[in-house]
């Protein structure tokens, strides 16, 4: 992709202080986009935005909870007030909550559904309202997971939310395509992030063995897919979920389970 492929574009990305979301923000800003970077941890969001700005990118931090519809609406408002428009919304924030089905609590369920589903749904809605008003088209990306395609023990409620996001991407096509807005999802397999390696020191070794390509994904692998889907080159891709899993869903081998508490 050209170095300035996103010049003049404005993006909002949730859950982006570290991990996949941060890399999406960094790559977008690096290619000319102005970015509203959200994280629930305001300090982390500020640090992340500062790093992007130090590298010459345009980025503003917005700390807050991406589960809350009123807060995600304020992210879109921030993009418009500060940068004049919104062109790209990436509903990246998601909680990966391991838990046995037989012990799963209402509280765990609420936390999971409110971020993975409610937050993503209302970010897409608020971004689409604004894109329609601007009459500029737009790009929305939802962060699903391979566990929304294939079952994974102790990730059943999580997988359920991730499967729903794939359906959200498909479902919105009929209502948003007439306005030039595309909605797609990405399903990462195992990705090396601060969280995954922190939760499980054997994450990389275990998942590398279970992944046909012989390695886990890097955050760059997922950001590359996201940047393609939000670029002009992907203008005719709509309602699609892009698997970025090194072939994992083709075989679905699960490594020895090391479940964080
Ligand atoms: N890492 C993987 O292996 C993997 C695999 C498949 C799918 N995914 C999905 O990709 C997305 C990003 O994953 P990750 O591992 O980079 O994320 P992560 O778990 O490392 O979290 C990234 C950031 O999100 C923030 N966050 C948490 N709750 C939030 C909230 N309510 N509002 C705003 N920010 C919040 C955290 O503070 C953190 O800094 C998630 O939706 C995840 O489900 C990740």
> Per-residue pLDDT tens for 251-260?
988 876 566 6
| Mutational test site, ligand 1, from 12, 13, 14, 15, max ligand atoms within 8 Å of CB | 15
> Per-residue pLDDT tens for 29-62?
999 999 999 999 999 999 999 999 999 999 999 9
The answer as to whether 260 is a domain residue is: no
The answer as to whether 112 is a domain residue is: yes
Confidence grade of residue 145 (pLDDT, cut at 50, 70, 90): very high
The answer as to whether 94 is a domain residue is: yes
The answer as to whether 69 is a domain residue is: yes
Q: How far is the CA of 76 from the centre of ligand 1 (A)?
A: 20
Q: Select from 181, 189, 168 the least CA-distant residue to 234.
A: 181
The answer as to whether 256 is a domain residue is: no
The answer as to whether 21 is a domain residue is: yes
> Per-residue pLDDT tens for 84-112?
999 999 999 999 989 999 999 999 999 99
The answer as to whether 255 is a domain residue is: no
Q: Whose CA is nearest to atom 23 of ligand 1?
A: 15
Active centre residues (catalytic)? 145, 158, 162
Q: Domain range holding 170?
A: 10-246
| CATH number, position 234 | 3.40.50.720
Q: Whose CA is nearest to atom 2 of ligand 1?
A: 191
The answer as to whether 101 is a domain residue is: yes
**Total number of domains constituting the chain:** 1
Confidence grade of residue 261 (pLDDT, cut at 50, 70, 90): low
Which pTM does this prediction carry? 0.97
């Amino acid at each position: 992709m050209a170095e300035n492929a996103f010049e003049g574009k404005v993006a909002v990305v949730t859950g982006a202080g570290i991990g996949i979301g941060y890399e999406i923000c960094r790559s977008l800003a690096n290619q000319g986009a102005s970015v509203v970077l959200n994280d629930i941890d305001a300090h982390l969001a500020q640090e992340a935005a500062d790093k992007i700005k130090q590298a010459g990118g345009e980025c503003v931090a917005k700390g807050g909870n991406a589960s809350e519809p009123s807060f995600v609406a304020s992210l879109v408002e921030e993009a418009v007030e500060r940068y004049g428009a919104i062109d790209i919304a990436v509903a990246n924030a998601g909680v990966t909550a391991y838990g046995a089905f037989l012990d799963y609590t209402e509280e765990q369920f609420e936390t999971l559904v409110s971020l993975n589903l409610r937050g993503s749904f209302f970010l897409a809605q608020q971004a689409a309202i604004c894109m329609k008003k601007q009459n500029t088209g737009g790009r929305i990306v939802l962060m699903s997971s391979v566990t929304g395609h294939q079952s994974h023990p102790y990730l059943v409620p999580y997988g359920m939310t991730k499967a729903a996001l794939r359906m959200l991407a498909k479902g919105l096509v009929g209502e948003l395509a007439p306005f030039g807005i595309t909605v797609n999802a990405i399903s990462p397999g195992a990705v090396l992030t601060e969280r995954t390696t922190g939760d499980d020191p054997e994450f990389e070794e275990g998942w590398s063995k279970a992944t046909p390509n012989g390695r886990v994904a890097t955050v760059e692998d997922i950001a590359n897919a996201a940047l393609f889907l939000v670029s002009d080159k992907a203008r005719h891709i709509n309602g699609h979920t892009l698997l970025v899993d090194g072939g994992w869903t083709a075989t679905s081998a699960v490594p020895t389970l090391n479940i964080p508490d």
